[in-house]
Chains A and B, each alone.
Chain A
Amino acid sequence: MSDNGDGGNDAGADVKADSEADPDTASKLAIREPPVVLVPVQVLEGETLSDALVSFLAPARVVVLGYHVLPEQTPTEQASMQFEDRAKAAVDDIAAAFADAGGAPETRVVFTHDRDQTLERVAAEVGSTAILLPNPTGAVSTVLVPIRGAGDDDRLADLVATLADEAHERVTLWGLTNGPGGFDAEAAVVDAADRLRERGVTDAQLTTETKTTETPLRDIVERSADADVVVMGEGDESILDVLFGDDAERVAEGAVAPVLVVRNRKPEPGDPAVEPGG
């Protein structure tokens, strides 16, 4: 299992290492790291994905993770005995929807006591570059990309460029900063737009905006009402994350739209491209 994950990460890291070594060659590549989107669905809670979201995600490699969280007093074995078939059927239904939309999804079914541990483990095993935090959505025509600080810009660009289809989806790059001297939102948005153009996103699809705000998360949540999907970076760990869950989860809870969280590359031993400061 973990071998797969390592393989995926290594492949991605190699590509990134190349791009750093030789930006000119790298810029000619359309997609550097084919995105892998982990789609966790609480199947036994009746959670499902809208057809619109399925067809939006289908161009990426999708891993459908059907999971069920049990209270600690219930052995996972007991739940799987009784509900495994039902969970598998529900996940297969979702997988079939992806197949109909032209995808070839991988499926996993997990019974767990700890959602975060399971998501983190499976994401690492399948080498996922983004995780979907589901919310209801209609047909996807606008993708909101809030940019608030350093994230994995290449992964994010790969994901958006893969998913945003020229005919259907428009992309809004939205830089948020807390004022002069803080994060340079203007430059970040221009940089992100460049990265998307390199990957074949047309100018007609792109809108760039910036905003100065003290409450970026609240602004993103409010703005999400106008978007069909939000794509954002994982953000840096802060003490608030421990108390309130990480930024993306807080956005997903408040937001009207589904949120795709781009995972930061996790440092792995012997992987120079992702060494801290590298």
Chain B
Amino acid sequence: MSQPEKKVWERKDLLGISDLDVWEIELILDTAESFLEISQRDIKKVPTLRGKTVITVFYEASTRTRVSFELAAKRLSADTVNISASTSSAQKGETLIDTARNLEAMAPDAIIMRHPIPGSSDLLGRHVRSSIINAGDGAHEHPTQALLDAMTIRQVKRNIRGLNISIIGDIAHSRVARSNIHCLTKLGASVTIAGPATMIPLEAEKMGVRVVRTLGEAIQGADVIMMLRIQRERQGKVLFPSDRDYSRFFGLNMENMKDAKDDVTIMHPGPINRGVEISPEVADGPFSVILEQVTNGVASRMAILYLLIGKGGSDEAAA
């Protein structure tokens, strides 16, 4: 599959999906598929990033993403250091750059950061020589989540082009939704969003998506349904009356799944609020790929680390 002109990965940072070209997204996904096998071995380690140092800095709570990044780095033989920083010290832009400079002084090859302020990883990327990987910056982007989601959809549906994909829930506050909308539309899917009116961003259509008002419309004809977590911690105010109320109108359950396509795929970035946005029967049911998403998370983060700090980036094999 060599192309007339050889394209080479030259990015230092992974800050978001919005500035990635389609070939770059596809390179990450193809590379990630090759990395899947490593986690299935008895000896889950390759020597590729031996001697590289990866620091994770999380200014927000996380289990899945941080463990996933740490395992990805370790399975590539990089050394990892985890730093937890308190939210209060992160509120000042100066402090973040100071932290970054201090980290830089310890010569890491990559810094993986989650931070509540949108654009914080871009800021970091401009101030340090290390590769910056955005593990979520406020409601802005969460690129690795979108990449592992795309990888999972490709596994199930083979091709993303032409698929109808519905994203349901708190779109306005969701970096997962934002990164996924960029990623899936770039890869040629038709994306529909649905949620309570208070959770749909103004001028959402400008992102190239279809906005529908009800869960039923979003379920009908969808090849993939992506449920979002209701994020109480990210809302400044109450956007819906109660969990029960939310569940009644926007919760996916066995009853409203009857209108879904026979081969529908159900996704959720986790952690799930059982019985709120998704019922246990659906989350654990045969159409759910929620745990595959987690498995693919490690492989796609390995691919990203390899591309950014392992110099692994052409779109064709060397001789």
A and B together in one complex = no
